[in-house]
């Protein structure tokens, strides 16, 4: 056998070089020789066969125990927490007259500068809560500016404007009666928006209006703005808040026979009870269910209910399991 080059087998000893190839293959002499000084490597641990069973589910560790303040915050409703945060942010102004002038400038800024508009609306919320006397002389102009921002195509500005109207209803209350019709119309229109936050903002502001302003003014605003609207969502919103208004006013007052109150109320409920949209009929039939047991219902019905709709309303009343009272 020819001599093997040491460059390719430099790890072999001189004795190994002379070992026949067959014996060298048998003894596996061709493996590298380890240094005598290097410690022996430990043998790898034997591998366990992989189990075919599904892996057990690992659960996340439990959070640490909540503190007293955390428990208090968790127990409070989200709306109450948000309300307290808003009240903490709406602190009285040092110079409300100057702030009102600045607010008008902010609201009349460029339409794309939405941050300035929200700043101006927030300032109005502060003044509605803490400086009502500053708003009263320019209340109509202020409401026109807010209505314009309710129509803003940017949802953040529109929601802020509706929240501002809600605060003005709550804090100014009957002082807002003169502005109820105009503001309610734009809020009812927003109830037909596809954006959920816009609809919620409109319903919230209308709810404050029902609770805070003069009931007859509110009823007129609801009927003028939404009773005959082409959009079913607007009519449904109208019926919903009319139902709430009936609870606020009380059935005895609604059926007192007072001019421009009982007649308009019964005519509106009669129309909504036969509306093509199911969600509209739902609220109006709830009103009928509550008003029919009143002793004056039959008399007021004969006096004010539209004759052309009485036949269909008989069926409605029987469907809601009400007793017929000489209709």
Instruction: Give per-residue pLDDT as tens, 249-286.
Output: 998 888 888 878 888 998 898 889 889 999 999 998 88
pTM: 0.69
Task: Fold for 95-213, please state it.
Answer: 1.25.10
Enumerate residue ranges in the chain where pLDDT < 50.
Answer: 1-15, 19, 22-36, 56-85, 87-88, 322-327
Q: Which residues contact 25 (CB under 8 A, 6 or more apart)?
A: none
In this predicted structure, what is the pLDDT of residue 311? 65
Alpha-carbon distances of 10 from 5, 30, 37, 260, 325, rounded to whole Å: 8, 10, 19, 114, 117
> What does the domain layout of the chain look like in residue ranges?
95-213, 216-327
Asked whether 165 and 204 are in contact (CB, 8 A), the reply is: no
Asked whether 142 and 124 are in contact (CB, 8 A), the reply is: yes
Sign for the pseudo-dihedral over CA of 51, 52, 53, 57: positive
| H or E segment to which residue 218 belongs | helix 215-226
Asked whether 159 and 201 are in contact (CB, 8 A), the reply is: yes
Q: Would you give the DSSP letter of residue 255? A: T
Instruction: Give per-residue pLDDT as tens, 144-174.
Output: 999 999 999 999 999 999 999 999 999 999 9
Q: With 0-12 CB in 10 A as exposed, 13-18 as middle and 19+ as buried, what is 119?
A: middle
Asked whether 262 and 256 are in contact (CB, 8 A), the reply is: yes
- Provide long-range contacts, Cβ within 8 A and 24+ apart, for 227-233: 227/268, 227/271, 227/272, 229/188, 231/192, 232/275, 232/276, 232/277, 232/279, 232/280, 233/191, 233/192, 233/199
In this predicted structure, what is the pLDDT of residue 121? 95
């Amino acid at each position: 056998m020819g001599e093997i080059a040491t460059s390719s087998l430099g790890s072999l000893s001189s004795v190994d070089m002379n070992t026949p190839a067959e014996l060298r293959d048998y003894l596996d002499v061709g493996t590298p020789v380890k240094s005598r000084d290097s410690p022996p490597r430990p043998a790898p641990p034997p591998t366990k066969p992989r189990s075919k069973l599904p892996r057990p589910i690992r659960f996340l560790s439990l959070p640490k125990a909540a503190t007293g303040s955390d428990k208090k915050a968790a127990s409070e409703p989200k709306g109450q927490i948000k309300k307290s945060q808003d009240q903490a942010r709406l602190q009285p102004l040092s110079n409300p007259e100057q702030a009102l002038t600045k607010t008008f400038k902010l609201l009349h800024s460029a339409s794309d500068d939405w941050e300035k508009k929200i700043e101006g609306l927030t300032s109005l919320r502060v003044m509605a809560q803490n400086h009502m006397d500053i708003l009263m002389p320019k209340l109509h102009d202020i409401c026109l500016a807010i209505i314009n921002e309710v129509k803003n195509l940017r949802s953040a500005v529109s929601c802020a404007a509706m929240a501002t109207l809600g605060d003005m209803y709550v804090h100014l209350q009957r002082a807002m009666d003169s502005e109820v019709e105009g503001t309610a119309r734009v809020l009812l229109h927003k109830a037909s928006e596809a954006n959920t936050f816009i609809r919620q903002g409109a319903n919230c502001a209308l709810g404050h209006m029902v609770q805070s302003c003069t009931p007859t003014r509110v009823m007129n605003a609801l009927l003028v703005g939404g009773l005959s609207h082409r959009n079913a969502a607007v009519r449904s919103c109208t019926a919903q808040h009319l139902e709430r208004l009936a609870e606020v006013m009380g059935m005895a007052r609604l059926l007192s026979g007072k001019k421009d109150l009982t007649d308009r109320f019964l005519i509106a409920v009669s129309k909504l009870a036969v509306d093509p949209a199911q969600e509209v009929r739902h609220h109006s039939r709830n009103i009928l269910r509550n008003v029919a047991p009143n002793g004056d219902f039959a008399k007021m019905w004969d006096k004010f209910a539209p004759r052309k709709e009485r036949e269909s309303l008989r069926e409605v009343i029987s469907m809601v399991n009400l007793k017929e009272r000489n209709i």
